[in-house]
Amino acid sequence: MKEKLDLQSNILIGSLLFGLFFGAGNLIFPVQLGQLAGSNTFVATIGFLITGVGLPILGVVASALSRSESLYEMAKPVSKSYALFFTCALYLTIGPLFAIPRTATVAFEVGLAEFAPANIIQMTLFLFSLIFFALTLYFLLRPGRILDWVGRYLTPAFVGLLSILIITAFLNPMGDASQSVAQGDYLAQPLFTGILDGYNTMDALASLAFAIIIISNIEKLGVTDPKRKAIETLKSGLVCLIGMGVIYSSLAYMGATSLGSVEPGANGGIILSMISKHYFGFVGQILLAVIVFVACLKTAIGLITACSQMFSEMFPNSLSYNRYAMSFTLVSFVVANFGLETIIQLSLPVLMFLYPLAIALIILSLLNPVIQKNKAVYQWTIGFTIMAALFDFVNAFPEDIKAKPFFREIVRLAETYLPGFDYGFGWIIPTFIGFTIGFVMWKLFEKDSVHHA
């Protein structure tokens, strides 16, 4: 048994973390942030790194401290029903309902959308997503080769191709970021807006799903003590933090400077396409298409694998791993054909609801050495968080739905009584109150038990 890992092992685990986390959304959101934040890009990027990198790493550390074998076990102190609900909701969100379909649509938007005539763009998306998910399924049904393809070929190819574009952008900037005026919420509150933008990567949610992969690899290297596993995860996470931090910051910089040479884009995929075309012309667009296709295929393989394994374990009497993989691939294919903009719009309310619950669970797990998975603490904390998160869920609805009298009154109520709601953090104080009530009840019950003994 090892007490700690050497530097080479930490770098290996950190690289695995990077390979699992960095995917489609990680490409499109930072560059759009940069273009919208303009002169406030630095502050907005710090916010993005907090939830886009820091929180996912804490999620894996929290999983190690919780001594749980899965997300279901991690959430079970609340109740078995809640654990089942949260696990299913999280995996479906980072799986076939949003994240997996997004991989295909991002690859399409960046690689082919500009070349497809407007009257047949839907048919082009259909054919592209059909080929994309056929390739995904090919690798999925050969699990022995997945690690080889992801670790040995896809990830290095992705990083190498992306580096060409980033280095070129630094050597020959398109403009001056300080001359670009920040837009919308990036003007008044760039830090908080960046923090919420980090939600879109879904990496904090994914960290709770992928944690078991990281922890099991650390155990295979000889570390078995839970506290030591958490420490080694954190050390390895610094490797991932540096790698993802550099790429995120570079993409945000590219977006911020791009307005000196290209027009504003509707989404990060379009912006990346215009940047690549600016530097390399048609060749640049082909290069970018390859970069994004590799990143998205890698992400789709990893996500469907994780979702299929989890559901086959939770419901062993329903479908086999292969049947879950085929089912999730089919659902992802159908959802992908709604298009990137629709998928992002539909996912936002769900993310605003799930993220507070995920953050609360991460905090509780980090405090596990102190609170010892006490049911009262977990239930009160999550209970108050759910109530507050429902307001964020409604507030993230499309404007035409949110304008209806019933929903407008719910939002007005939250704006009046939940501090921080306007910034997207109305859940923080209720979560703290719930934790305090649960902690006090636990200690009072504990003292009462000792007194009667």
Angle between helices 226-258 and 268-314 (to 10 degrees): 160
Inter-residue contact 365 to 62 (CB < 8 Å): yes
More reliable by pLDDT, 437 or 240:
437
Q: Which of 44, 55, 54 is nearest to 192 (CA)?
A: 44
How far, CA to CA in Å, does 76 sit from each of 126, 199, 202, 212, 310?
A: 40, 24, 22, 16, 15
Q: pLDDT band for 450, please (50, 70, 90 cuts).
A: very low
For range 225-238, the mean pLDDT: 86
pLDDT single digits (tens) 101-138? 999 999 998 888 878 888 899 999 999 999 999 999 88
The rounded percent of the chain whose pLDDT value lies above 70 is 94
Cα separation, 388 vs 19, whole angstroms: 34
* Residue whose token pair is 């696990």: 87
pLDDT single digits (tens) 349-394? 999 999 999 999 999 999 998 998 999 999 999 999 999 999 999 9
Report the chain's mean pLDDT, rounded to a whole number: 88
Q: Which of 378, 376, 450, 390 is nearest to 426 (CA)?
A: 390
For range 183-198, the mean pLDDT: 94
3-state secondary structure the chain: CCCCCCHHHHHHHHHHHHHHHCCHHHHHHHHHHHHHHHHHHHHHHHHHHHHHHHHHHHHHHHHHHHCCCCHHHHHCCCCHHHHHHHHHHHHHHCCCCCHHHHHHHHHHHHHCHHHCCHHHHHHHHHHHHHHHHHHHHHHHCCHHHHHHHHHHHHHHHHHHHHHHHHHHHHHCCCCCHHHCCCCCHHHHCHHHHHHHHHHCCCHHHHHHHHHHHHHHHHHHCCCCCHHHHHHHHHHHHHHHHHHHHHHHHHHHHHHHHHCCCCCCCCCHHHHHHHHHHHHHHHHHHHHHHHHHHHHHHHHHHHHHHHHHHHHHHHCCCCCCHHHHHHHHHHHHHHHHCCCHHHHHHHHHHHHHHHHHHHHHHHHHHHCHHHHCCCHHHHHHHHHHHHHHHHHHHHHCCCHHHHCCHHHHHHHHHHHHHCCCHHHCCCCHHHHHHHHHHHHHHHHHHHHHHHHHC
Break the chain into its structural domains and give their ranges: 7-337, 341-453
Q: pLDDT band for 453, please (50, 70, 90 cuts).
A: very low
CATH superfamily, domain 7-337, is: Amino acid/polyamine transporter I (1.20.1740.10)
pLDDT above 70 (res 452): no
User: How many C-beta neighbours within 10 Å does residue 130 have?
Assistant: 14
Inter-residue contact 263 to 270 (CB < 8 Å): no
Q: pLDDT band for 70, please (50, 70, 90 cuts).
A: confident
pLDDT above 70 (res 45): yes
For range 309-314, the mean pLDDT: 88
The model's pTM: 0.90
For range 304-311, the mean pLDDT: 88
Residue 52 confidence (pLDDT): 93
User: How many C-beta neighbours within 10 Å does residue 188 have?
Assistant: 10
pLDDT single digits (tens) 205-218? 999 988 888 888 88
